[in-house]
Structures are given as structure tokens and as C-alpha cells.
């Protein structure tokens, strides 16, 4: 299997894959569950990050099992989606952002496969955390489809599951964050550690706390994801064959 999709909030359905079956992959970190189907004759994996019914909160996702399972399945390229808030007035609800860097404000997660012992001590270069080739393909494909997708943005990952305070959002903005979400750390870190070509399509669902005129809600996030679901599916499916 060359390509896998990791679906974030609002993306629970492998969509246009056919002949779908469920696979459970046992890893040293626990069991990962994914759907495997075919698209244009190629096997594609689909992993809903929060579970099929959104039952796993961001701080409880088994990121290591998920990424290790993809590695075991010989996946090379990962197309991930994430719902995000925006701290950048130029990035509006409904916009896509092809993320190129991250900031980490999480607190309780396991950030590495390299814990000494058998795996050794490894310091991975993170000059390009997100796969540049896949980013380019996503930006080009979005342009071809007439979908508004910003080329680059800094994703700041917070611990959640609560949304941020206005002061936290001011801090993140001052430190260079464009987007806030709760899941990309450690997902992108683990993917990069094992050499997966990992690309993130962030969908802005709301302006962040203190910028938005109204209190944030998960329902609002899902509503925007739903409205833009077709564009997101089109972007993913047109990128896969390239
Ligand atoms: N903050 C954190 N995570 C999010 C947000 C937000 O504003 N919107 C969607 N996911």
C-alpha cells in the first residue's frame, strides 16, 4: 500500500474507495484500525484519527500505533486532514492551508519512536517537517480545481480538548502560529521520524478564540467541515494519482 489518508474531524468516511475492508494491525504500541479500499486500481488506506464515531479525543489518540501500522503496511505517502482555528486574518473559515511548519504547545504526549534500547537514540532533522513534494502537489491540485488553498502556514498544536483562551491565541500569533489545532503533534513528528512523506491539508473552521465574535463549538467545526467536504474529497482524490 503506497498511500494512506488520515481523516481528522469531520472526515470519517473513506468516501470513494471501493471494495472496502477493515484491517486491524498489531504494533508494538497497540492495535491500529484502518479501512483499506481501492481507488483507480490502487489500494489506499483510510484511518479516521478520532475513530469512526469520533470517540477518541486528541490527547488519547494512539499516534504511535497509527503511524507504525502505516509503516508496517509499507505506506510511503500520507495525506492527512485537520480542522483548525485561524489566528491569521488572512486565513478565513472555509480556506484550506497546506501546512509547512509547526509549533508545539502540547503537554502529555509521547513524541518519539526513539526511546533508546532497540530503537536507539536518534535526533531527526526537522528542517522540512512536511513533505515538500506532497505540499507542492496539493497546492497545484487545489489550484487546478479552483479551490482556495494557502501555500504554507504554521500549525500550532495545543493540548486540548478544550479550546484556547484569548491570551493563548495572542501568544501563538506573536510566536508565528497561523493555525491552531490539537492533533498534528505528535502525528507529524512520528511520521517524519520513520521517513513517511506526510502532507497536511488544514481546513479553517473558525477564527480562533478572542478573534471569533462568538464562543467556539465543536458543532461549528463540524458544520464548516461538512460544507467543504466535497472540496476536501476532490482535493485528496485528485492528488492521489499524481
Ligand atoms: N482550536 C483548536 N483546535 C481547533 C480549533 C481551534 O480554534 N478549531 C478546530 N480545531
- Specify the 3-state DSSP secondary structure of 233: helix
106 in contact with ligand 1, CB cutoff 6 A:
no
Between β-strands 18-27 and 154-158, what pairing exists: parallel, antiparallel or unpaired?
unpaired
ipTM: 0.99
pLDDT digits (tens, 9 = 90+) for 35-89: 999 999 999 999 999 988 889 999 999 999 999 999 999 999 999 999 999 999 9
Residue from 49, 85, 93, 222 to probe ligand 1 pocket by mutation (most atoms less than 8 Å from CB): 85
125-135: average pLDDT: 98
At 17 the pLDDT is 87
* Cβ neighbours of 32 (radius 10 Å): 23
pTM beyond 0.90: the answer is: yes
10 in contact with ligand 1, CB cutoff 6 A:
no
Ligand 1 centroid from CA 198, angstroms: 21
Atom of ligand 1 nearest to the CA of 181: 3
Amino acid at each position: 500500500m503506497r498511500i494512506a489518508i488520515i481523516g481528522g474531524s469531520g472526515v470519517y468516511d473513506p468516501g470513494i474507495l471501493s471494495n472496502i475492508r477493515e484491517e486491524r494491525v498489531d504494533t508494538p504500541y497497540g492495535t491500529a484500525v484502518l479501512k483499506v479500499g481501492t481507488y483507480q486500481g490502487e489500494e489506499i488506506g483510510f484511518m479516521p484519527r478520532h475513530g469512526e464515531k469520533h470517540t477518541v479525543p486528541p490527547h488519547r489518540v494512539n499516534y504511535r500505533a497509527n503511524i507504525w501500522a502505516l509503516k508496517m503496511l509499507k505506506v510511503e505517502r500520507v495525506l492527512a486532514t485537520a480542522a483548525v482555528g485561524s489566528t491569521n486574518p488572512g486565513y478565513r473559515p472555509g480556506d484550506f492551508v497546506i501546512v509547512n511548519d509547526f509549533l508545539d504547545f502540547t503537554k502529555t504526549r509521547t513524541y518519539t519512536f526513539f526511546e533508546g534500547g532497540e530503537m536507539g537514540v536518534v535526533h531527526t532533522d526537522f528542517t522540512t517537517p512536511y513533505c515538500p513534494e506532497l505540499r507542492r502537489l496539493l497546492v497545484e491540485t487545489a489550484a487546478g480545481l479552483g479551490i482556495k488553498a494557502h501555500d504554507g502556514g504554521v500549525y500550532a498544536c495545543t493540548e486540548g480538548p478544550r479550546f484556547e483562551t484569548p491570551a493563548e491565541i495572542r501568544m501563538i500569533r506573536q510566536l508565528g502560529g497561523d493555525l491552531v489545532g490539537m492533533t498534528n503533534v505528535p502525528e507529524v513528528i512520528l511520521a517524519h521520524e520513520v521517513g513517511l512523506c506526510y502532507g497536511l491539508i488544514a481546513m479553517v473552521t473558525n477564527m480562533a478564540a478572542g478573534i471569533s465574535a462568538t464562543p467556539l463549538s465543536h458543532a461549528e467545526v463540524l458544520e464548516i467541515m461538512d460544507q467543504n467536504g466535497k472540496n476536501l474529497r476532490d482535493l485528496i482524490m485528485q492528488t492521489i494519482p499524481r
